[in-house]
Amino acid sequence: MSKFIKKLDDFFEMVKEAFKDPLEIQWIDKAGHLVGLFEINDNVYQINCVEKENNIWKFDFYSVERKADSIVLSPDMTNRERDKFRVLPTVLVGLEYLVLQKSPEAIILGAADSSKGRKKLYASFLEDFCLKIDYKFYTKVYQTSEDITSTKQLFVLYKEGGDIDKLYSTIISSIEDEK
């Protein structure tokens, strides 16, 4: 039993250490667009922040996959289990950077991979993050195709008192753009 407890203690210590030391993100800032890159275990990740309208930003996060003659951005993180404890705190630093640099009225994020556990973890951390930056939080799981197993989770972080109609129309157009 003590080996089990030791392994469990080691696991939680590893998680705690990862959150204390997020990775540095290299940022490129162009009008209405922020791109951040970071690397973990020889895997490259990219954060794309795009201003949609009315200072409402879409925040996307990808693993960068090198193919024979091209680079492909993939929202699927299920093949990157080895990196999982460093990715989330680094992505949260990316969100903080967006908030500090652009002071958005709202941020729209989505999780498209098949991991229900990862989506729950994102929701928990984003809800805590919203409390820290004094934003409101909303999340919704929705079906992305006729295949009932294909779902995406939408996360919205927004300032109270903003124009809800503009936020709603931006969310709808962002979802439509992804179809």
**Is the model's pLDDT at 171 over the cut of 80?**
yes
What is the model's pTM? 0.81
- The per-residue DSSP string of 109-120 comes to EEE-SS-HHHHH
Structure confidence at residue 40 as a pLDDT band (50, 70, 90)? confident
Taking the C-alpha atoms of residue 158 and residue 3, their distance in angstroms, rounded to an integer, is 45
Q: What are the two backbone dihedrals, phi and then psi, of residue 170, each rounded to the nearest 5 degrees?
A: -70, -40
CATH topology of domain 30-178: Aminopeptidase (3.40.630)
Per DSSP, 29 falls in state E
The answer to whether residues 67 and 74 touch, using CB atoms and an 8 Å cutoff, is no
Alpha-helical segments (H) within 21-163: 84-102, 116-133
pLDDT in tens, 52-96: 988 999 999 888 887 778 777 776 665 555 666 678 888 899 999
CA separation for the pair 57, 102 (Å, rounded):
9
Nearest Cα neighbor of 105 from 151, 155, 55, 63 is 55
Q: Are 126 and 107 in contact (CB under 8 A)?
A: no
Residue in 177, 166, 25, 160 with CA at minimum distance from that of residue 101: 25
Task: Provide the residue ranges of all domains of the chain, joining segments of one domain with +.
Answer: 30-178
Q: Which helix (H) or strand (E) holds 128?
A: helix 116-133
